[in-house]
Amino acid sequence: MAARGRFAFTVAGVVVATLLLSFVLGLYRGWSERLTTYVDETDTDLWVVQKGVESFFSPSVVQARYVENIRAIDGVEASSGLSAIPMLRLRSGEDAYDVYLMGFDPAETGAAGGGLGGPLRIVRGSGAPKPGEIVIDQILARITGVDIGDSLTVSYLNFQVVGISSGGNLGVTLLCFVARSEVTRLLGDYPVVSHILVRTAPGRESEVATAIRAVSPILEVFPRSEFADSTQRVLRRSILPILSVVVVLVFIVGAIVVGLTMYTTTIEKQREFGVLKALGTPGQRLVSIVLQQSVICCLVGFAIGQLGLLATVWLTQQVVPQFVTLIKPGDLVTVFVLVTVMGMAGSWLPVQRVVRVDPLVVFKA
Amino acid sequence: MNEQPLLRLVGVTKVFGEGASLVHVLDNVDLEVTGGIVTAIMGPSGAGKTTLLTIAGGLQRPTSGHVEVMGERIEGLPQGALATLRRTRIGFVFQSANLLEALSARENVEYMVDLAGDRRGLGKERATELLRMVGLEKRMDARPKQLSGGEQQRVCVARALANRARLILADEPTANLDSQRAAEIMGLLRSLSRDMDCGILLVTHDVRAREQADRAFWLEDGHLSPR
């Protein structure tokens, strides 16, 4: 029973490590990919931002008149200013949430509500808010209980909900869409936008990008996919060090759990290892016995950990709907390799112990 | 008889401690073990019987003197070579069987067949044959905890034969058994020495064991004398 208990404890340690490693990786994937969903899926060819800006989430201020200048360039089919303000306080009754307010020009909205700077998809209601109206993401609607026709406040402005959209859950923030004039009002009527979205004639992106750079030296132009990639890179730069620390800590704790339980097992089985040595079992075979046990614990722990991961992700999303995780097969392989290495690292001490077992122990009654 | 001894100890001395606490556990001991003979070493507790056995089995090195197993001097061999020697040429029978708890009786014996380097995949057959030989044909799949002390010791004897060793070193093989089981084990060892021409060196406190041995020695104060 003691042996089973130890096995269960070791496996539990690996389960926790697997769960945490997978969860952290899933969170990282979810953030880094979901955060750029909006950039990726917006129906635009080029993103124009202030020079030096590398990500969708970085502050960018561009004069609004450039929207018209760009629209006049040959090869531009549509050009629209987007005024995005992060971390604005949305209040609904007693509750308050931080949202990303997107001011866009509904007149430039493309077909099916997926326009230049507007919501990606409309679940219900309208995707073209007029002044005093707002479109909120369905996750926000679920969290707040707010629906079409309800009123809410963003910063000091009051809005009535006219539409529920999807695709605006960026994990760390939720997108809300209003008419750009509302955001301009929030900014004290300064004629600026944060981004300019440009749709070009087919195959003319590069030519138009060059022409836009000629409009003003403070403008930076990104093809859509490049802007998404650049945004991801910036996020990775900021998130990865934190996640790396978490991964290293989980790895160390997992290795310690595996190591200590394996070490205890080794000590309790010292006599049996002594017997094996006395019988002439080669040292490398003894080491492989310890490593095999460790690998078995890791395999079982990994399998249970993955089931636990599914349950945890499901449960988390029930409690925190905006929570974003993305589990990729490649990441599972990474976790498996990490857990196996962790098991091996945890076996180091037990292996040292086994190698030093004195076979004469078997001659003691 | 000109047969080469299976085991030969020449002038073996083993000293523990230093200075005032220096103890000569074995002092210039000579001993030969040949096939077909059961040799018993007796003596008081702490006399060095087990030390002598472990030196013979390459588990300890003598302070001086030399040890030959089937003509090969072993006292200077590296640990790896000594391990090879033990798994291929020597069989051990321990006082408390020392079977691997997680394995069945057959698997315990099979492990040793495999360890000895049998690459023919006949480990299971050989283990079955040996367990049959020691009278455990009906207990082959039992775990050590399901076996009586006598049965465990029989498995231990079968394991000692698994590598086809002719030199069997037995450490108090009857100490934990009642008189009937002890007599059975001694009878088994004795018949093995005769039927398989094994040389058996056993250390024991048990005077009944001495009666079954072909020769006996008394070890005291580091000296070995015929008894």
Q: What is the pLDDT of residues B24-36, one digit of tens each?
A: 999 999 999 999 9
Q: Is the pLDDT of residue A355 over 80?
A: yes
Chain B within 8 Å of A282 (Cβ-Cβ)?
yes
Instruction: Name the percent of chain A lying above pLDDT 90.
Output: 42
pLDDT band per the 50, 70, 90 thresholds, residue A257: confident
| Among A105, A196, A91, residue whose Cα is nearest residue A136 | A91
Distance from CA of B1 to the nearest CA of A (A): 31
Distance from CA of A257 to the nearest CA of B (A): 23
Distances (CA, A) of A90 to A94, A142, A177: 11, 14, 12
How would you classify residue A153: left for phi > 0, otherwise alpha for psi between -120 and 50, otherwise beta? beta
What pLDDT is attached to residue A275?
Answer: 93
Q: Which two tokens stand for residue B141?
A: 């799949």
CB-CB neighbors (< 8 A) of A354 in chain B:
none
Place of tokens 């072909």: B214
Query: Per-residue pLDDT tens for A103-114?
Result: 998 876 543 344
Q: How far apart are CA B171 and CA B95, in angstroms?
A: 5
Contacts of A360 (CB under 8 A, 6+ apart): A274, A278, B54, B59, B60
CB-CB neighbors (< 8 A) of A363 in chain B:
50, 53-54, 94-95, 171
Q: Do A272 and B53 make contact, defined as CB atoms within 8 angstroms?
A: no
- Could you give the maximum distance between any two Cα atoms of chain B, in Å? 56
Q: Is the pLDDT of residue A323 over 80?
A: no
Distances (CA, A) of B121 to B10, B97, B103, B114, B161: 39, 26, 18, 8, 17
Q: Do B86 and A363 make contact, defined as CB atoms within 8 angstroms?
A: no
CB-CB neighbors (< 8 A) of A272 in chain B:
98, 100-101
Q: Do B60 and A360 make contact, defined as CB atoms within 8 angstroms?
A: yes
Q: Do A282 and B80 make contact, defined as CB atoms within 8 angstroms?
A: yes
Q: Do A280 and B85 make contact, defined as CB atoms within 8 angstroms?
A: yes
What pLDDT is attached to residue A114?
Answer: 44
Q: How many helices (H) and strands (E) does chain A have?
A: 11, 12
The per-residue pLDDT of chain B, averaged, comes to: 91
Instruction: Tell me the three state secondary structure of residue B35.
Output: coil
Query: Per-residue pLDDT tens for A34-89?
Result: 788 889 888 899 999 999 999 998 899 999 999 999 999 999 988 999 999 988 88
Q: Do B98 and A271 make contact, defined as CB atoms within 8 angstroms?
A: yes
ipTM above 0.85, yes or no: yes
From A333-342, B42-51, B92-101, B118-127, the region with the lowest mean pLDDT = B118-127
Chain A within 8 Å of B103 (Cβ-Cβ)?
no
CB-CB neighbors (< 8 A) of B172 in chain A:
365
CB B198 within 8 Å of CB B192? yes
Distance from CA of A55 to the nearest CA of B (A): 60
Q: How far apart are CA B97 and CA B176, in angstroms?
A: 9
What is the average per-residue pLDDT within A247-274? 80
How many other CB atoms sit within 10 Å of the CB of residue A275? 24
- Residue in B50, B83, B86 nearest the CB of A363: B50
Distances (CA, A) of B123 to A285, B163, B212: 18, 10, 31
CB A178 within 8 Å of CB A102? yes
The per-residue pLDDT of chain A, averaged, comes to: 87
Question: How far is Cα of residue A113 from the mean position of the Cα atoms in its chain?
Answer: 26
- Residue in A280, A360, A365 nearest the CB of B115: A280
